[in-house]
Amino acid sequence: MHSQTIILYDGSFDGFLCAVFLIYEQKVTHPIINKKNKSTPTQLFATTEEIHTEKQKAKRVWDGFKLKTTKTQQRMFFKAFLSEIKGVENTLFNYLRIVFMKEKTDTSIDYSNKDILKISQVAKMVQREKHRIEAFVRFRLTTDNIYTSIIEPDFNVLPLITSHFKDRYADQKWMIYDLKRSYGIYYDLKKIEIITIEGTVKSNIDIKSLSSNEKEFEALWRTYFSNVNIISRKNNKLHLRHLPKRYWKYLIEKN
Amino acid sequence: MSFERIREKLSILADAAKYDVSCASSGGKRNNPKKGLGNNTGMGICHSYTEDGRCVSLLKILLTNHCIYDCAYCITRKSNDIQRAAFKIQEVVDLTINFYRRNYIEGLFLSSGIFKNADFTMERLVEVAKKLRLEENFNGYIHLKSIPGASDELMREAGLYADRLSVNIEIPTKSGLKLLAPDKKHEDFIKPMQKVKEEIIQHRAEQKIIKSTPRYAPAGQSTQMIIGATGESDRDIMYSATFYYKKFNMRRVYYSGYIPVLEDSRLPAIDTEVPILRENRLYQTDWLLRFYGFSVEEILNDSHTHLDLDIDPKLSWALRNLHFFPIDINRADKRMLARVPGIGMQSVYKILEARKFRKLNWTHLKAIGIANNRAHYFITCDSKDFYSQELAPDEIKARILKNSNSKYKKYFNHQLRLF
């Protein structure tokens, strides 16, 4: 039996790339890449190694990857990482290996390879979630004049949606907070900042901190929503497929 | 502003606008260079979905539902006794901006009943778009309805502010139009379409020489036809659609199953069911024409004037043309791959990429995601296990139907009992 090496990283993309760096540098034969948890149980037949994230090493791996891939493939790879699906790191690593074995100029993709297909499928799931969140974010104007939204996406999509909102709402202050992952992005009319909020954040913004007309606009939106519906075409199955229940919590028109 | 009054108007004027099916917000790429409000990446976003499963992308309203016309199929027709309302120009601007800032919508789709005359109405629609663009620095999506009979000058101005312009032809045939909308002339519909088409071509040409030429209706124009209000055949509808696609460079033609809203001897009875399945088959045909390289004559012709309801139009075509099949997945060109029932364009591209590496077999094809239930009668691949049996078209159809579980199944049973 081959002894396995479990490599623990800090959960960041750079950290993951450093894990890859280590595998190549030390020629680790049977690596498993895992996110560091507070209590990782020790495995009997495996050695565990914890790595430190170093920007420099991460950049070397990523630069090497970029040489042999197209922009689309790079984005796909990053999206798959953001899925945070358990074990995705190892599929990503297999994907990297295939890429590094290729000729320099060859950027074609072999969809009949199972790891490549898997990554492209996972990336698609993340892409779909990104698109949904871009659609389902509902801003509520607060008394301090910030358009505020709370989300609980299935995947870690904040890094993917930042530029969309920055380009779109360039003349208003806004904030989108991921309640599940306890961090958010805030735009102050100049730049985007990553923020965390101390203490517990409630999913419902206190009415007292909403701007005075906010409830009125929400009522208008609900009025609009109920009036565009055509009752004789009712199709609840389709409605639910497009608008799964888990998103309803933050949709003004569904509450 | 008085929220109570606005809410009342909104409920009337959104209700009246909902029979316009278009809610696309794609194709109108617009950046936000001056750090104003809004952008459009060219990809549409559906911000919500109604309970009938339709996308809510735009604030779709009428400026007013007062109308001088009396078209039988239209809920806002003059003789219909309903509540009437009208928005002020600034009210529409404010609503759009406030909804947009909260990420409810991608932009505005403004239509209107015709009050006084065509130009008087069109002028006001253009005024809303102009205000949004120039005063509010708004770069979201704007779709304006071209009012039949509006002057060339107004149509030219409209395209400078709007992303998309559309005239709804509503009734696919001239005879149908005469019956249901006797005060409207076919030429009045064509005129603004023609003008918009010319302006688009002219602006594109100028843009190549002078980069700063303003853009004109970047998302092009579209139209809509009501299905099942007059006795037109699927062939009539699709030939009309093809005419509008070719003649006026339409981006989209929409098909809207007639929803009985009014009692009228010229129209289907009020309890007639909305022809949702037929509408779906028409859209599938539309897709085959626009993306799959089919010509309309292949799908609908003198011997085949109606689309099959129980199977999709591609399968129907393939069953009538079995002599082209089976094709070899590993060798067939893109054009033929796209013609196999159960293989969509996404799968076509994946097959083309993947077969550079190895010969594909059933496992590969399944992983790529083709609908094998339909496809396997029409293809061979790198496997000895393919469909060699010579089956008659009816038999293939029966087998496919037996193994498929269409969401429309209830309709077939329903229809079968009728005959």
pTM score, two decimals? 0.87
Task: Output the average pLDDT for chain A.
Answer: 90
Q: Write the burial class of residue A181 (CB in 10 Å: 0-12 exposed, 13-18 middle, 19+ buried).
A: middle
- Report the alpha-carbon distance of residue A160 to residue A127 in Å, rounded: 9
Q: Which residue has the tokens 């000058």?
A: B153
pLDDT value, residue B418: 43
Please determine, for residue A46, whether its predicted confidence score (pLDDT) is greater than 90: no
Average of per-residue pLDDT across A199-224: 88
Best B12, B49, B57 member to test A by mutation, with max A CBs in 10 Å, is: B49
Q: How far apart are the first and last CA of chain A?
A: 57
- Chain-chain contact of B102 with A239 (C-beta, under 8 angstroms): no
- CB < 8 Å to A138, chain B: 102-104
Cβ pair A171:B36 closer than 8 A? yes
Taking CA–CA distances from B62, the nearest residue in chain A reads: A228
A211, pLDDT greater than 60: yes
Which among A137, A225, A232 has the least Cβ separation from residue B274?
A232
Which pLDDT score is estimated for B329?
94
Q: What pLDDT is recorded for position B410? A: 61
**Nearest residue of B to residue A251, measured between CA atoms:** B48
pLDDT reading at A30 higher than 90: no
Helix (H) or strand (E) holding A141: strand A140-141
CB spacing of A230 vs B360 below 8 angstroms: no
Chain A residues with CB under 8 Å of B99 CB are 217, 220-221, 224
For residue A106, the model assigns a pLDDT of: 67
Is B215 in CB contact (< 8 Å) with chain A?
Answer: no
Question: Does the structure's ipTM exceed the value 0.85?
Answer: yes
Residue A100 and residue A65: Cα distance in Å, rounded?
Answer: 7
The answer to whether residue A236 neighbours chain B at the CB level (below 8 Å) is yes
Calculate how close chain B gets to A125, using CA atoms only, in Å.
15
Please state the rounded mean pLDDT for residues A122-144.
95
Q: How far apart are CA B379 and CA B339, in angstroms?
A: 11
Q: Whose structure tokens read 């239930």? A: B373
B369 φ/ψ angles, rounded to the nearest 5 degrees: 105, 30
- The whole-angstrom separation of Cα A210 and Cα A192 is 22
Q: How far apart are CA A233 and CA B259, in angstroms?
A: 9
Residue where the block lists tokens 């497009």: A242
Task: Return the pLDDT at B165.
Answer: 93
Q: pLDDT of chain B along its 419 residues, tens only?
A: 689 999 999 999 999 888 887 778 787 788 888 888 988 888 889 999 999 888 999 999 999 999 998 888 888 888 888 999 999 999 999 999 999 999 999 999 999 999 889 999 999 999 999 999 999 999 999 999 999 889 999 999 999 999 999 988 888 888 888 888 888 888 888 888 999 999 999 998 998 888 888 889 888 999 999 898 888 899 999 999 999 999 998 999 999 888 887 788 888 888 888 888 999 999 999 999 999 999 999 999 999 999 999 999 999 999 999 999 999 999 999 999 999 999 999 999 999 988 988 899 999 999 888 998 899 899 998 887 766 667 888 889 988 888 877 666 665 554 444 43
**Identity of the residue in B14, B38, B101 whose CB atom sits nearest the CB atom of A224:** B14
- Name the burial class of residue B146, with classes exposed (0-12), middle (13-18) and buried (19+) by CB atoms within 10 angstroms of its CB: buried
What is the C-alpha separation between A153 and B115, in angstroms, rounded?
47
Which of B173-177's residues contact partners 24+ apart within 8 Å by CB, and which partners?
A: B173/B230, B173/B232, B173/B236, B173/B240, B175/B230, B176/B229, B176/B230, B176/B232
Name residues 81-100 of chain B within 8 A of A (Cβ): 95, 98-99
Are the beta carbons of A109 and B353 separated by less than 8 Å? yes
User: What integer is the mean pLDDT of A238-246?
Assistant: 92
Domain boundaries of chain B, sorted by first residue: 3-293, 313-418
Q: What is the pLDDT of residue B416?
A: 44
Give the mean pLDDT of A221-240: 90
Write out the two tokens for A203: 């999913």
B105: distance to nearest CA of chain A, Å? 9
pLDDT tens for each residue of A3-15: 788 999 999 999 9
Q: Quote the CA–CA distance of B369 and B366 in Å, as a whole number.
A: 5
CB within 8 Å: B3 and A220: yes
> Does the CB of A171 have a partner CB in chain B at under 8 Å?
yes
With CA atoms as reference, the chain A residue closest to B277 would be: A233
Of A135, A171, A220, the CB nearest to B46: A135
Q: Which one is the CATH code of B3-293: 3.20.20.70, 3.40.50.300, 3.40.47.10, 2.30.30.90?
A: 3.20.20.70
Q: Do A138 and B102 touch (CB under 8 A)?
A: yes
Scan residues 104-133 of B and list those with Cβ closer than 8 Å to A. Answer: 104
Per-residue pLDDT, A43:
64
Cβ distance of A221 and B102 shorter than 8 Å: yes
Contact status, residue B164 vs residue B143, Cβ threshold 8 Å: yes
CB pairs under 8 A between A and B: 152
Phi and psi torsions of B327, nearest 5°: -110, 155
Residues B346, B353: Cα–Cα separation, whole Å: 11
Residues A246 and A241: their CA atoms lie apart, in Å, by: 11
Region for A253 from its dihedrals, namely left if φ exceeds 0, alpha if ψ lies in -120 to 50, beta otherwise: alpha
pLDDT score at B187: 85
Q: Residue B7 and residue B25: Cα distance in Å, rounded?
A: 24
